[in-house]
Structure 1
């Protein structure tokens, strides 16, 4: 059936307008080639490029502190025997462990160290909570924890399997009261297993949620299918290209990244599909033919989508300036994700629109509509366009967001490998049992090495230092020279040279969380004075262990915050300035995004730390989430303000807001709901970091859409007016040109 003739198209003015319309003509003309090309690219990426391999077996990939590893290395050089273990076997009977079971655990540890078992385990140190061995234990004679040393050449999964296999072979009698294997290594392995179990479920649920939002937005069954094709092409290509680029650049990509990549792709590609589909629907209602409507929608929205996508990609790429290996892995992967989604959006989506035309909205029928008088704006739109009510809205929004942001000052950071796991996992159950039998810090004790000439011969002074350590706030127990005869026999606590001694310090709080980190930092500050008071004189101390590691990771992360923040803000500001050709508007737009981000962080503190009672939040979540939210906020700024800018060039500012705000808000609301669903459903993964990310990103997007973009930004534009375009004065120039044209016609 032949199409109705298109109405006369108003000639484009300006070089850039002609350029974008030319791009639209080429894209529409090559629509079938583009679709086939993307299908081929997705297949080729899946078949020929290496899949993205996340790392879960490298603590250094988390941004490990060099000082803590240096301390462990120095300890090994001095004692020729490791004291710190990141895996442990837990036995516990609340009614009491028989003395024979405790004795067998000690003998078994000695036999492992003497390599009498056919196992990849290199050594073991059993610690019972007998009163003489561990006076500070919460219980007496109920628990034995055996620190196990596996071959470090094995990855986390292999080390965990070796320990679990050994425990299963040796602890077969019910009287052994075997609970499980725990520690940071088994916890990281368990995180990987949980993630692998849930990742596809989360992806499917997220896709269904996003497609439902698309169907409801456009009343169509084809629009969700178009989105699914576009997202699928982006996901398959991105995962393949990310794996290839990571190998080429020797970049470590965290295992946690795949669900975030899929959620990000779903969100941004869906957003851009909504923008393009909205443009196509508007052009079809104006009476344009299928192909011309696709050209006009492509020409109108591609500049906005391109700048928005580049803004998000540049914002996420700012993570590259971090010193932390974790963030350096996040940066390229997220930036590549956004760029791939952008290329799909500006090529595949317009091509599909040109092919489908009105069919994209089936079963709804899109027919040309006569030009009608503009509907009376809603009360909310009139409120943001009126200077008096706009001022009230700005004050209310700033006060509310500011009050929420004020709570962010209480944000505490930690690692919490074990605590992030579901309570049903073996590592979590074993950690809980060990904590009840001893103290929460028993799973990952801190190692303190005291190095000085002849210190090993000063038994009384060393014992006095051990007693002093026990009295420090937050310390539940100390194990040192003379406390474990079996360990002393192999030189575990006193170096053979006599030049060093070491202690295991057990904290009364969970080792990788904020409270334990604060305790250790205070203890480190007191160490020189404690050694001096014990009569050891001037000594060199080294502090290692998971808590020291966590302390260093968080210190490095905090140091990266300033660097990442400055670069991210500068990049977003620069792109807003270039797109809007102004300085004033980008400043208050970016300030509004920062305020919304602060409010989101404050709400996360109230929810997780105050309401749920968590000690802290996973150290990388607030920073990675902040970069994404800041960049995505600029993304919506470009779409919303870009529409107001276009209208303000041809009409008074108040009228431009009344015309542009409802249209842009409808698209941004649908896009924001889709993006919030994509991120929010990450919380379905039963791991602490994903629940925190899901909350932070989901709530942050909703605040941005329903408060910042719907109320605060249009109210600010109303208050500032045409001055927003300073120093270019483009809005004033356009208005003066329009006035001159009107006078000439009269």
Structure 2
């Protein structure tokens, strides 16, 4: 029993942790064997991870208004108006009339069933920009777009394959085919690019982790240990997660796998770094390998377990969302963090107990065991002086004002943040699908490939030509609408009744927007249309009708609206989950609230910088809808990790001394490990930029910058300064810090008390 602490029972947390450390070290060989067997069994008996949820419609529930509008339209007309796959023919100098005529004949033959080899394509509709037949065309006679239609149960990959086979079989070089494009091909190509980028991403991330850990510990074995533990966690996560998704019928977004790999490599390496730092310190102090492993395990297991549980709870909070995309995204992230934490708190102590100083082996052995070289000692002295300075109330107040002001300034661009669901625009600029889309948009308008359908239903509405014409003219005057086709339009083949239902109870309009159909600007245009439509109907004399919108922009609007409406419940759930674990860990309220407020400020700054870069500097049409929210949830969860890693030791030390002194004493000790962990995690996420898709570039920037801000500004400067100013009140409503200080002072005055 220490002279400075009250007696502890065998059920005291410290005693339980010491017992846990002894058991893990004693069972070190069985623990290693268990995890090796578990990883092997997952590969042998569980299905390989797969990807689902690749269709746009799977991002929204089937009972949403946009999908239901398309279903009603099909039921009324027996023929869809919207196509998501198109073949583009284009010659900037003009397509020969023979080529255009042949395109019309070819499409008619497909629709009449004359080409059985093009199945599952059941119809084709050519659209030309010749002689202004299609309103809003930018050019004349340069472009033909053949829209392809398939049954609704055909997968996206099969739709694209059928379109490509159609081109290979029935077009020749004289037809000036640019390519196949549309939201369906773009989504399929995104998946292909993503899968083809995984190997490079994994190799680059592994190399980066190896290099960082090797430099930090001046060892060649330490990074191998970290990567081995992360590898076990990744195998288990991918196979167990895939099996659970298959069993529960939950679609797994294809974006999850690279994010899971980056998350696990970074997070597990973080945990290994803290265990290694503790073992290195004990070995340098002369402890044996088993004692060093036991002490490191007892010291950092509660911190790592709490950090992992907090991160898992924060990411798992996405399950409260209404959006299917977020509900599928959250559990996978939570499972990854939990598995990584469980592997880390058992396998790492076992391996360290087995390896001992060999875990820090390097060709120059003195580097591995003696961290206190002159450079490290100078760094330690500098860190100690800085820690004492930042915990002086006056200087802490200045740091608080400067950091808070800087983060608020960085957060200001978030006011202009907009969201989109772009597929074509997310592809690399030189990709054939995007190039074909660009050519089509140049010949017509930006929204030509994914027009919006307006369905108007009412008794005898098809016979009210004057009113329908007035409505069509009003729709065409809405800013952001490039062209409107409707009843009476003759831009499509003769005999194909696409605008008036046979029973006269419905009509539909085709709206071509001026902007990329799945971008933020098009979504805003559709929102404006929905707001203005009741007034336009009234002015046209069509007040007693029912209307609905369908098409990719309408689906994108549903996704964006769901995402925006989910913001409040996701934020509350994630913040409450993180706050709860901080309260349980610190047994206080004020300090956790203050630390969480720092995290929120860091996230706002991160999203502000991301908005500024991708919207203001690079000119993007809004951020990808899931990026700000996925990044925010991950940063809240990972920020709590650094709260616990950075403030946890100080909080424990503050039981025997004033909080300001505890901070000054512990900050230099934890700074080096936190820097290493943060750099590793930031680079792991930053390497997502190797996936040449815009959403991953946005995620890479947001997550890497957010982690750097959190570790180097918030945890190193802002949080210590804030706790210094709050002082002993940070322990409210508990009084354990105050009571411990009083107890220590009382024992110093009277050892017999």
TM-score, with structure 1 as normaliser: 0.96
| Contact 2:387 2:665 survives alignment (8 Å) | no
Match of 2:38 among 25, 41, 55: 41
State the Cα distance separating 1:378 from its structure 2 match.
4.2
1:126 correspondence with 2:126: yes
Residues 435-446 of structure 1: matches in 2 within 5 Å?
435-446=441-452
Q: Which residue of 2 aligns with 1:88?
A: 86
Match of 1:29 among 20, 26, 29: 26
Q: Which residue of 2 aligns with 1:601?
A: 607
Task: State how far apart, in whole Å, the 2-side matches of 1:12 and 1:513 are.
Answer: 64
1:707 correspondence with 2:716: no
Match of 1:418 among 424, 438, 445: 424
Match of 1:657 among 659, 663, 668: 663
Q: Using a 3 Å threshold, how does the CA distance of structure 1 residues 252 and 339 change in structure 2: closer, same or farther?
A: same
Task: State how far apart, in whole Å, the 2-side matches of 1:588 and 1:170 are.
Answer: 67
Task: State how far apart, in whole Å, the 2-side matches of 1:208 and 1:13 are.
Answer: 46
1:678-727 deviation per Cα after TM superposition (whole angstroms, max 9, x unaligned): 11100110001110110010000000011001100111111111221111
State the Cα distance separating 1:530 from its structure 2 match.
2.2
Q: Using a 3 Å threshold, how does the CA distance of structure 1 residues 706 and 247 change in structure 2: closer, same or farther?
A: same
| Contact 2:55 2:187 survives alignment (8 Å) | no
3-state SS of paired residue (2:448): helix
Equivalenced residue count is 735
- Larger mean CA deviation between 209-218 and 422-431 belongs to 422-431
1:445-464 deviation per Cα after TM superposition (whole angstroms, max 9, x unaligned): 00011112112222333233
| Contact 1:487 1:493 survives alignment (8 Å) | no
| Contact 1:488 1:494 survives alignment (8 Å) | no
3-state SS of paired residue (2:224): helix
| Contact 2:46 2:243 survives alignment (8 Å) | yes
Q: Which residue of 2 aligns with 1:3?
A: none
Q: Which residue of 1 aligns with 2:682?
A: 676
Q: Which residue of 1 aligns with 2:348?
A: 349
State the Cα distance separating 1:55 from its structure 2 match.
1.5
**RMSD value over aligned CA atoms?**
1.9
Q: Which residue of 1 aligns with 2:212?
A: 213
3-state SS of paired residue (1:179): strand
Q: Which residue of 2 aligns with 1:97?
A: 95
Please identify runs of 4+ aligned residues in structure 1 that moved more than 4 A.
10-14, 366-370, 372-379, 485-488
1:272-324 deviation per Cα after TM superposition (whole angstroms, max 9, x unaligned): 00000011011112221110110010011001000000000011110111111
State the Cα distance separating 1:211 from its structure 2 match.
1.1
Q: Which residue of 1 aligns with 2:413?
A: 407
Task: State how far apart, in whole Å, the 2-side matches of 1:658 and 1:563 are.
Answer: 38
Task: State how far apart, in whole Å, the 2-side matches of 1:480 and 1:207 are.
Answer: 56
Q: Using a 3 Å threshold, how does the CA distance of structure 1 residues 690 and 536 change in structure 2: closer, same or farther?
A: same
Task: State how far apart, in whole Å, the 2-side matches of 1:455 and 1:654 are.
Answer: 76
Task: State how far apart, in whole Å, the 2-side matches of 1:92 and 1:115 are.
Answer: 26
Q: Using a 3 Å threshold, how does the CA distance of structure 1 residues 289 and 516 change in structure 2: closer, same or farther?
A: same
- Larger mean CA deviation between 77-86 and 144-153 belongs to 144-153
Q: Which residue of 2 aligns with 1:7?
A: none
1:515-564 deviation per Cα after TM superposition (whole angstroms, max 9, x unaligned): 11111111122223323333444221121000111111100111111011
1:68 correspondence with 2:74: no
| Contact 1:450 1:542 survives alignment (8 Å) | yes
State the Cα distance separating 1:639 from its structure 2 match.
1.2
Q: Using a 3 Å threshold, how does the CA distance of structure 1 residues 30 and 416 change in structure 2: closer, same or farther?
A: same
Task: State how far apart, in whole Å, the 1-side matches of 2:589 and 2:181 are.
Answer: 55
Task: State how far apart, in whole Å, the 2-side matches of 1:525 and 1:655 are.
Answer: 60
Q: Using a 3 Å threshold, how does the CA distance of structure 1 residues 484 and 48 change in structure 2: closer, same or farther?
A: farther
Q: Which residue of 2 aligns with 1:287?
A: 286
3-state SS of paired residue (2:122): strand
| Contact 1:56 1:192 survives alignment (8 Å) | no
1:590 correspondence with 2:589: no
Task: State how far apart, in whole Å, the 1-side matches of 2:7 and 2:708 are.
Answer: 36
Residue segments in structure 2 that go unaligned for 5+ positions in a row? none
- Larger mean CA deviation between 467-476 and 409-418 belongs to 467-476
| Contact 1:683 1:690 survives alignment (8 Å) | yes
1:106-130 deviation per Cα after TM superposition (whole angstroms, max 9, x unaligned): 2222221222111210111111012
Task: State how far apart, in whole Å, the 2-side matches of 1:12 and 1:151 are.
Answer: 75
3-state SS of paired residue (1:55): coil
Q: Which residue of 2 aligns with 1:17?
A: 14
1:558-582 deviation per Cα after TM superposition (whole angstroms, max 9, x unaligned): 1111011111111111110110011
3-state SS of paired residue (1:740): helix
Task: State how far apart, in whole Å, the 2-side matches of 1:154 and 1:270 are.
Answer: 43
Task: State how far apart, in whole Å, the 1-side matches of 2:277 and 2:112 are.
Answer: 72
3-state SS of paired residue (2:482): strand
Q: Which residue of 1 aligns with 2:732?
A: 726
1:84-135 deviation per Cα after TM superposition (whole angstroms, max 9, x unaligned): 1111111111001111211222222222122211121011111101233123
TM-score, with structure 2 as normaliser: 0.95
- Larger mean CA deviation between 460-469 and 396-405 belongs to 460-469
Q: Using a 3 Å threshold, how does the CA distance of structure 1 residues 41 and 477 change in structure 2: closer, same or farther?
A: same
| Contact 2:53 2:59 survives alignment (8 Å) | no
Q: Which residue of 2 aligns with 1:51?
A: 48
3-state SS of paired residue (2:130): coil
Q: Which residue of 2 aligns with 1:142?
A: 142
Task: State how far apart, in whole Å, the 2-side matches of 1:513 and 1:309 are.
Answer: 36
Task: State how far apart, in whole Å, the 1-side matches of 2:130 and 2:294 are.
Answer: 79
1:119-159 deviation per Cα after TM superposition (whole angstroms, max 9, x unaligned): 21011111101233123111111111111112332221111
Task: State how far apart, in whole Å, the 2-side matches of 1:664 and 1:720 are.
Answer: 21
Q: Using a 3 Å threshold, how does the CA distance of structure 1 residues 98 and 574 change in structure 2: closer, same or farther?
A: same
Task: State how far apart, in whole Å, the 2-side matches of 1:257 and 1:694 are.
Answer: 14
Task: State how far apart, in whole Å, the 2-side matches of 1:390 and 1:199 are.
Answer: 45
Q: Using a 3 Å threshold, how does the CA distance of structure 1 residues 27 and 424 change in structure 2: closer, same or farther?
A: same
State the Cα distance separating 1:376 from its structure 2 match.
6.7
State the Cα distance separating 1:488 from its structure 2 match.
5.4
| Contact 2:487 2:500 survives alignment (8 Å) | yes
| Contact 1:75 1:82 survives alignment (8 Å) | yes
Task: State how far apart, in whole Å, the 1-side matches of 2:688 and 2:185 are.
Answer: 23
- Larger mean CA deviation between 218-227 and 155-164 belongs to 155-164
1:231-251 deviation per Cα after TM superposition (whole angstroms, max 9, x unaligned): 110111111100111122211
3-state SS of paired residue (1:25): helix
| Contact 2:391 2:663 survives alignment (8 Å) | yes
State the Cα distance separating 1:487 from its structure 2 match.
4.3
| Contact 1:482 1:488 survives alignment (8 Å) | no
Task: State how far apart, in whole Å, the 2-side matches of 1:661 and 1:615 are.
Answer: 43
| Contact 1:450 1:500 survives alignment (8 Å) | yes
Q: Which residue of 1 aligns with 2:76?
A: 78
3-state SS of paired residue (1:495): coil
Match of 1:553 among 548, 552, 559: 559
Q: Which residue of 1 aligns with 2:473?
A: 467
| Contact 1:56 1:188 survives alignment (8 Å) | no
3-state SS of paired residue (1:506): strand
Task: State how far apart, in whole Å, the 2-side matches of 1:70 and 1:30 are.
Answer: 59
Residue segments in structure 1 that go unaligned for 5+ positions in a row? 1-9
Task: State how far apart, in whole Å, the 2-side matches of 1:456 and 1:294 are.
Answer: 81
3-state SS of paired residue (1:88): strand
State the Cα distance separating 1:505 from its structure 2 match.
0.5
State the Cα distance separating 1:642 from its structure 2 match.
0.8
| Contact 1:160 1:185 survives alignment (8 Å) | yes
